[in-house]
Amino acid sequence: MTPYQEEFIRFMVRSGVLTFGDFTTKSGRKTPYFINTGNYKTGAQAARLGDYYAACIQERAPEGVDCLFGPAYKGIPLVVGAASSLFRNYGRDLPYCFNRKEAKDHGEGGSMVGYKPRPGDRIAIIEDVVTAGTAVRESLELFQALGDVKVTHLFVSADRMERGTRDCTTLDELREDYGITVCPIVTIREIIGALHNRPVDGKVYIDDEMRGRMEAYLAQYGPRG
């Protein structure tokens, strides 16, 4: 694990985004941990979050990406932060765009805001945490309708490594179905490894009991085979 990944895990904990306890996901699963990216709420957090995405993009896709796309609504601040950090820290001035939930029927019209993808462009989607993959699939269909552009990468903050509608994880489903490269900043197993009996600001968030609960959850809902 790289230093920026370890820093990102601690950052999520300190921001109240990664929490531990008893939760119920939208799908009805009982989970001992929860990742709520809606808890990012300050300028400092937004800037640092953009830095972590940019570090992942620079590491995993140093070339081969022409445009960044953030699905509305949570993806909008993520794509702006990532694009800004890529330019500020790495000198990569990639254009970015995002979609409207409803197409505009006046003025310039259309469903896209910002950069207008051109034929041959290679697109990277910037998302938070993918559960069912619905928003990502909608984004992929959106670009398919635009014509000769190709979504090559998907960047997410964390991979929960949970089973989707098939025996593999949701992210693996997206890899298989669309042939895209999926790049999480961290995975849940990396989170366990980084925090197990290792305190953050004097508090241990994943002790032996919590690790056992998380492992049991992954054994039940992780990929089969």
CA atoms within 13 A on the CB side of 91: 0
CA dist 78 and 196 (Å) reads 28
CB-based contact 45:157 (threshold 8 Å) = no
CA dist 195 and 205 (Å) reads 7
Q: Is 196 a catalytic residue?
A: no
Catalytic option among 26, 41, 101, 106 = 106
SS3 225: coil
SS3 201: coil
Closest CA to 82 of 154, 174, 3, 165: 154
CA dist 216 and 150 (Å) reads 38
Catalytic option among 26, 104, 196, 203 = 104
Q: Is 153 a catalytic residue?
A: no
**What is the sign of the dihedral through the CA atoms of 42, 138, 125 and 52?**
positive
* DSSP conformational letter for 180: P
Return the structure tokens found at 68: 């960044």
> Exposure of 159 by Cβ count < 10 A (0-12 exposed, 13-18 middle, 19+ buried)?
buried
CB-based contact 47:82 (threshold 8 Å) = no
Which of the residues are catalytic?
104, 106
